[in-house]
Structure 1
């Protein structure tokens, strides 16, 4: 059994994939566009045919799936965070700075009782991240 996050970016999925490639070295494994679907999607507004119906990408050993959803521009992420566990403090500093660009620093990176470096941020897409040195 396996649980994988599936993120809906409501029209900004391609931008998000590029951002995660640049910031945390994400590797895109596959992209399926609405125009490539063997079945029409009746709820999709005209002009969104080239948006991403489904994608899969890896960050380290984790696979995350993502989509543009119905491209209605109402992305709301809440009630969860993606925890990025790193081995070196310098890597945590780099990831924190890159992911928080255009977003919000919720808790600066700092030493805690459970980690030599821990911090929280919300990226420019509204995804909450926990940066953690293990």
Structure 2
């Protein structure tokens, strides 16, 4: 397995949180994608379009702190304890499927493994112990 990174979820405060984390860890954002910039932007309510769909801040030694705004208008909700995922970056599609299958056994699949508009092979699940996981394989990273 290549890398495991924390993925944090917020209720509209991702940008503020990450600007704070940037003052602590330094560096520059490697990704900042707003909901308005996605193919699904037409399904997002106007007041949510400038919220963060994905944000990434490298924090050294290959670690990346990532985050998103959960949108109540899209049925997403947060409670303390379910506002983070462990994001696993697999070395291949086969490895991603193996990890996803193993972790989802007796758990709850949230998004099946599939090719995404951002170019990753990606899926989400909650394992039988209540831990939330994101599994992805990015061809560009593997080369």
Q: Normalising by structure 2, report the TM-score.
A: 0.46
Greater Rg by CA: 1
Q: Which has the higher helix share?
A: 2
